[in-house]
């Protein structure tokens, strides 16, 4: 049972953000792809923002170090697991994922529509998504569960000998290939109780619409959350930017060259801190903030950084409201397999790099399933220098999908 949970967890919550890395897209023959953008409006903002904001608040509740997650990767992996859930387990997952009153068919169609929309991002930016199911050949899985995940997520089921050492290499190799080597491994072992791994990988590489001038990058002092000082390479830009002055924070929105994806940077005021800012991340606030950005002249200082992050997320998911999926006496995945099963671990890895030219990010999530065992007078230009902990979000302006969210506490230098 413990192995089963780990598989589900790793797939759904393992995340990797990788610079200069691309993930292979799902087999197009398994998803009803369309060149028509008419379905984009059907994508639920609540799924994109409700789960993302709640998950981020729990993951970065007391950030003592950098936290970078991919809400989209985690949500996608968990949605594949959801197709095998039943009873209380299913209802808890339904609530945590923010699906409200949606039917199973609407949930799967929405995930498929969101994927197809994201794959239509202007190719000047590279955005790819891949899903897979790796199964223990000694176990049988519900045919409807298998067909649903293949149809809507492009996740084909591959049966493997989990007792063979080459299987671990195969699963990690898939993740490595689909993150261009930025995430070489996602699982460290295959427990004897493991029966299924549901895996998701996301890769993004985008250049700024307006690049930072490298000659203007300067070494400055950065104050970490604990009050210690360090030197960082601060990129600088003075221009008109999408800007927001919120309650106890300010923010800018930097578009990428595809003119659809963008990075939002949120900086708490000196009288506030990163913990208060993270607490303010709710679906309602995000929706309100996104509508309030406005072009304004000003100066932005943003550190160059490269972050690798990993975490085991089962505790966070339990706190979010879905403990049943992890408990032997409660987990119900009979729509996946007749074997009593649970989610044993949720592994999450990310890689995120930001420099003068743009951003590269990748995510890999593996879920392991185991058997139970403007005013009249001109305003002065804004001044926003990120010389203390701040938050970044990479989002899709068309669907409101949040691909990556990070609390940058102590920015490591980028190459």
User: Tens place of pLDDT for every residue, the chain, 415 residues?
Assistant: 333 333 332 222 222 222 222 222 334 444 544 444 444 554 444 566 889 999 999 999 988 899 999 999 999 999 999 999 999 999 999 999 999 889 999 999 999 999 999 999 999 999 989 999 999 999 999 999 999 999 999 999 999 999 999 999 999 999 888 887 888 899 999 999 999 999 999 999 999 999 999 999 999 999 998 899 999 999 999 999 999 999 999 999 999 999 999 999 999 999 999 999 999 999 999 999 999 999 999 999 999 999 999 989 999 999 999 999 999 999 999 999 999 999 998 888 999 999 999 999 989 898 988 988 744 556 799 999 999 999 999 999 999 999 999 999 999 988 7
pTM, rounded to two decimals: 0.88
What three-state secondary structure class fits 327?
A: coil
Sequence ranges of the chain with CATH classification 2.30.39.10 = 214-305+378-408
Q: What is the pLDDT of residue 17?
A: 23
Sequence ranges of the chain with CATH classification 3.30.497.10 = 2-29+38-208+306-371
Q: What is the pLDDT of residue 339?
A: 93
CATH of region 2-29+38-208+306-371, choose from 3.30.497.10, 3.40.640.10, 3.30.950.10, 1.10.268.10: 3.30.497.10
- Is residue 198 within 8 A of residue 366, CB to CB? The reply is yes
- CA pair distance 25, 137, nearest whole angstrom: 25
Q: What is the pLDDT of residue 230?
A: 96
Q: What's the burial of 72, exposed, middle or buried (CB within 10 Å: 0-12/13-18/19+)?
A: buried
Q: What is the pLDDT of residue 346?
A: 84
CA 362 to chain centroid, in Å, comes to 9
Helix axes 143-153, 104-118, angle to 10 degrees: 30
Listed residue (57, 48, 59, 75) closest to 363, CA to CA: 75
- Is residue 183 within 8 A of residue 125, CB to CB? The reply is no
Q: What is the pLDDT of residue 35?
A: 41
Q: Is the dihedral of CA 234, 239, 245, 251 positive or negative?
A: negative
Q: What is the CATH topology of the domain spanning 214-305+378-408? A: Alpha-1-antitrypsin; domain 1 (2.30.39)
- CA pair distance 328, 60, nearest whole angstrom: 28
- CA pair distance 309, 181, nearest whole angstrom: 15
For the chain, helix, strand, coil in percent to 5 are 30, 30, 35
23-43 core/surface letters (b: 16 or more CB in 10 A; e: else) = bbbbeeebbebeeeeeebeeb
């Amino acid at each position: 049972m413990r192995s089963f949970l780990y598989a589900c967890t790793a797939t759904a919550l393992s995340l990797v953000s990788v610079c200069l890395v691309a993930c292979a897209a799902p087999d197009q023959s398994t998803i009803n792809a369309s060149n028509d953008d008419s379905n984009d409006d059907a994508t639920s903002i609540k799924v994109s923002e409700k789960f993302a904001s709640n998950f981020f608040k729990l993951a970065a509740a007391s950030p003592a170090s950098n936290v970078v997650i991919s809400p989209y990767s985690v949500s996608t992996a968990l949605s594949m697991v959801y197709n095998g859930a039943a009873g209380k387990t299913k209802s808890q997952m339904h609530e945590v994922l923010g699906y409200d009153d949606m039917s199973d068919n609407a949930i799967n169609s929405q995930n498929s529509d969101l994927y197809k929309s994201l794959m239509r991002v202007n190719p000047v930016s590279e955005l790819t998504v891949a899903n897979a199911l790796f199964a223990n050949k000694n176990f049988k899985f519900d045919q409807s569960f298998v067909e649903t995940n293949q149809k809507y997520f492009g996740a084909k089921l591959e049966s493997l000998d989990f007792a063979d050492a080459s299987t671990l290499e195969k699963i990690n190799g898939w993740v490595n290939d689909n993150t261009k080597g930025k995430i070489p491994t996602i699982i460290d072992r295959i427990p004897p109780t493991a029966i299924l791994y549901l895996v998701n990988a996301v890769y993004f590489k985008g250049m700024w619409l307006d690049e930072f001038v490298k000659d203007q990058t300067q070494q400055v002092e950065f104050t970490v959350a604990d009050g210690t000082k360090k030197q960082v390479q601060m990129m600088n830009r003075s221009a008109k930017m999408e800007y927001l002055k919120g309650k106890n924070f300010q923010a800018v929105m930097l578009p990428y060259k595809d003119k659809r994806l963008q990075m939002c940077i949120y900086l708490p005021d000196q009288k506030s801190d990163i913990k208060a800012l993270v607490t303010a991340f709710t679906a309602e606030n995000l929706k309100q903030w996104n509508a309030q950005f406005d072009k304004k002249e000003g100066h932005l200082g943003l550190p160059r950084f490269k972050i690798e992050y990993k975490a085991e997320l089962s505790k966070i998911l339990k706190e979010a409201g879905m403990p049943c999926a992890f408990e032997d006496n409660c987990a119900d995945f009979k729509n996946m397999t007749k074997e009593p099963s649970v989610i044993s671990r949720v592994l999450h890895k990310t890689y995120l790099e930001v420099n003068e030219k743009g951003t590269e990010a990748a995510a890999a999530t593996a879920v392991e399933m185991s058997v139970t065992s403007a005013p009249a007078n001109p305003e002065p230009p804004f001044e926003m220098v990120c010389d203390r902990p701040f938050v970044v979000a990479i989002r899709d302006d068309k669907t409101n999908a949040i691909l990556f969210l990070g609390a940058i506490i102590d920015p490591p230098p980028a190459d």
